[in-house]
Amino acid sequence: MITSLYANAPGLEIFPREEEQSTTLLMLPASNQIIWVSGSVLTALTAGAVSTIYHQGRNHRLNNRQSIIYFLNPELDEPLHSWVKPRGSDLEDIREHVRNAPLLTFSLLPVESL
């Protein structure tokens, strides 16, 4: 849903448009600042009002690079619905999207496996 990231050296790269991954923006937080990155779960919860920020971390082989990353995701033990009702449709349970988004988008393990 949301990734909180602190880094003290270059490495975070943002893709401004999902379909155009050849263009990247290099990001470095200001001193003692945190970057919040929205994920596909937040996009689903807001019915598209908040866009997903596609990104990657690049290893520049710097000796003193430190990153602290915290992932925030919703509980999946009860139905999970969008906070905004999409026009012309009913609210749908998005738990399967949450469980499978890491696998579908990034070839990572599903949430249950973590």
Q: Chunked in runs of 10, what are the mean pLDDT values of the chain (114 residues)? A: 83 73 74 85 88 82 80 86 80 83 56 51
Find, among 47, 51, 35, the residue nearest to 92 by Cα: 47
Domain of 32, in residue numbers: 2-113
CA–CA gap between residue 27 and residue 9 (Å, rounded): 9
Q: What's 33's DSSP letter?
A: -
- What does the pLDDT read at residue 114? 45
Residue 11 contacts residue 59 (beta carbons within 8 Å): yes
CA–CA gap between residue 25 and residue 85 (Å, rounded): 33
The total number of structural domains that make up the chain: 1
Task: Report residue 38: phi and psi, to 5°.
Answer: -85, 140
Residue 88's Cβ-side half-sphere holds a number of Cα atoms within 13 Å equal to 0
